[in-house]
Structure 1
Amino acid sequence: MKISSPSAGLVVAVIASLSFGTSGAFIKPLLEAGWSPSAAVTARVLLGGLVLLPLALISLRGSWPALWRARWRVLAMAVAGVASTQFFYFAAIQTIPVATAALIELLAPLLLVGVVWVMTRRIPHALVLVGSLFAVGGLVLVVGPGAIRAVDPLGLAFAACAMVGCAIYFVIAARPSDGLPPVGFAAAGLVLGGLVLGALGLTGVLPLAATFGPVPLAGTALPWWVPLVIVAVVSTALAYVSGITSAEALGSRLASFVSLLEVVFAALFAWLLLGEQLTPLQLLGGALILGGIAAVRAAGSETAVPAALDLLVPLPAMVDAGVVEPAPAHEYRG
């Protein structure tokens, strides 16, 4: 389903942020029970892709050529938008605090603003700059001021790579679908991304460890597969489909800023399900993020920058022929 209304796109983007924001509250009990982070995310991605697979097969009836035309976009989503982002994030948290890694990864919207600034040599709209300042301030308050500290340089480098992967995800998601349904795109990207993560685990690059006993959640003990299924269906399948749908409707810049609400929803779910404290500073941070999103939206459409997009997401012509051929103007969001 393609959305053309910006208002509807915003609603779907908020749904995506809410869906992504549930993951921490449901994955944390698995981690505390002995699951390694890489095992949890590999299971989440693979199961999410398998959940979407039947819907993807139905939606692709008569549209199989669209999947073939988007093969490089799907591969980029699987490798960069899913597997690499997750791999570098979990590599980062081996040596730096989780809050620090999350804060750096979620600076992806500022990276997108910077790429456009450099490629066009035009200063972004004042409202975009104001929105960026609000968003960063809100992130720091929600994630925790203690996230800003001197830490291991290699961990910081891994977190920066996760930020790049996150930015690439939004660029890929925002590119015109050319007839490929979002559910088909999401399913293909998740399945391939899960296979890449699984291969990294089987070869020992990522540690895979899991336990299969009851886990505590919302004051009761539940089978281990209950939170995993919830994460796969809500935090992965629904989240990626709605995220891709909204990014195509809103463009990569606005969609990436709306995605910052994920940290706000994550704090809310941790409060409701895990009993973690929700502080006034976090509420203020959420308000600042909302203000930043409003400012970026008020700035209007983002500038079309074909060169910037092609630096992050190679065109099929670049891969197949070794050169970049400019795409028609309508293929870039304006």
Structure 2
Amino acid sequence: MSWGTTYLVTTEFLPPGIPLLSGVLRVLPAGLLLLLIARRLPAGDWWWRCAVLGMLNIGAFNTLLFVAAYRLPGGVAATLIAVQPLLVAGLAFALLGERPTRWRLGWGVAGVVGVGLIVLRGTITFDLVGILAGLAAAASMSAGVVLTKRWGRPPGTGTLAFTGWQLTASGLLLLPVALLVEGLPPMPDAAALGGYAWLAIIGTAVAYVLWFQGLGRLPVTAVSFLPLLSPAVAAALGWLVLGQALTPIQGAGFALALLSIAAAQLPPPFAEKGKA
């Protein structure tokens, strides 16, 4: 749900035109803060594993999402990202041996439809690069989620350290790219500082700690539905805070998205024991 505040904070408080630098300012301070609290660094293979997981879960995902958002209407980009539960189901079967059920696959399709009803408005623009970037963003986070589940974490490593490793790795890898493409950021005003503080502390440090904690406890195909809350929360904030209209069709989409998220957390009805 906290990820759903990103759109409101970005459009209302952050300087425009620096999406990559904004991404770095969001994840790198959060990662360093968690490392300072956890006081533990990775060892051995976990140096490159954290770099891979950080880029898939955070760095590459957010970069590709920005590309899609800039080239496509926001509703189209959000709908493309909503295919994530279906991608996770396929990857979880291939890498984890978790066989997808028709129950969750069906609710995955329903979730895409629900998000589409919430965010798709007016004429749809088809931009091949934007569409490919949106699908690649969904595939990136899907792969990150499944690999996180497959690799687990080193024995004795807490969620704070594990999250801090990934955030710091993704921030450090994105920093030179952002500086090369966008140059130095403008001096932020008080509103921008507040926006970056919210995104870094609540929308990143706290949110990703909770995300990876939940990912360690829930089936990967079930947890993959939870990001569908993000566009739903963004639409609700647009209605409550910005006074944007919310049509009955969008309300129906909101209800369908929430229903798909809730239903995906439950075992299929009438399923044989052990196959839920």
Q: TM-score range by the shorter chain?
A: 0.7 to 0.9
Are the aligned partners of 1:142 and 1:283 in contact in 2 as well (CA < 8 Å)?
A: yes
Aligned with 2:23 (options 41, 44, 51): 41
Q: Can you list the C-alpha shifts for 1:205-248, whole angstroms capped at 9, x where unaligned?
A: xx35644465xxxxxxx532011101111111111111111111
Distance 2:17 2:34 in 1: 24
The gaps in structure 1 that reach 5 residues or longer are: 1-17, 215-221, 301-333
Q: Residue 77 of structure 1 aligns with which residue?
A: 53
Q: Residue 88 of structure 1 aligns with which residue?
A: 64
Q: Residue 293 of structure 1 aligns with which residue?
A: 261
Write the mapping of 1:261-276 to structure 2, written as runs, cut at 5 A: 261-276=229-244
The gaps in structure 2 that reach 5 residues or longer are: 269-275
Q: Residue 33 of structure 2 aligns with which residue?
A: 51
1:150: how far off? Answer: 5.0
Q: Residue 317 of structure 1 aligns with which residue?
A: none
Write the mapping of 1:274-285 to structure 2, written as runs, cut at 5 A: 274-285=242-253
Q: Residue 148 of structure 2 aligns with which residue?
A: 173
TM-score normalised according to structure 1 size: 0.71
Aligned with 1:127 (options 70, 95, 103): 103
Q: Can you list the C-alpha shifts for 1:269-292, whole angstroms capped at 9, x where unaligned?
A: 333333333333333222212221
Are the aligned partners of 2:91 and 2:143 in contact in 1 as well (CA < 8 Å)?
A: no
Are the aligned partners of 2:5 and 2:237 in contact in 1 as well (CA < 8 Å)?
A: yes
Amino acid at match of 1:261: L
Distance 1:277 1:210 in 2: 34
Change (3 A) 1:82 1:270: same
Q: Residue 200 of structure 1 aligns with which residue?
A: 177
1:164 paired to 2:132: no
In the alignment of these two chains, the number of paired residues is 267
Change (3 A) 1:165 1:121: closer
Aligned with 1:144 (options 116, 120, 123): 120
Aligned with 1:155 (options 116, 130, 142): 130
Distance 1:225 1:275 in 2: 24
1:190 paired to 2:158: no
Q: Residue 11 of structure 2 aligns with which residue?
A: 28
Are the aligned partners of 1:34 and 1:211 in contact in 2 as well (CA < 8 Å)?
A: no
Distance 1:121 1:258 in 2: 21
Change (3 A) 1:95 1:74: same
1:256: how far off? Answer: 0.9
Change (3 A) 1:69 1:26: same
Aligned with 1:240 (options 208, 215, 218): 208
Are the aligned partners of 2:91 and 2:146 in contact in 1 as well (CA < 8 Å)?
A: no
Change (3 A) 1:208 1:240: farther
Are the aligned partners of 1:35 and 1:209 in contact in 2 as well (CA < 8 Å)?
A: no
Amino acid at match of 2:212: I
1:123: how far off? Answer: 7.7
Q: Per the alignment, in what secondary structure is the counterpart of residue 159 of structure 1?
A: helix
Write the mapping of 1:209-220 to structure 2, written as runs, cut at 5 A: 210-212=185-187, 214=189
Distance 1:289 1:266 in 2: 13
Change (3 A) 1:98 1:67: farther
TM-score normalised according to structure 2 size: 0.85
Are the aligned partners of 2:78 and 2:231 in contact in 1 as well (CA < 8 Å)?
A: no
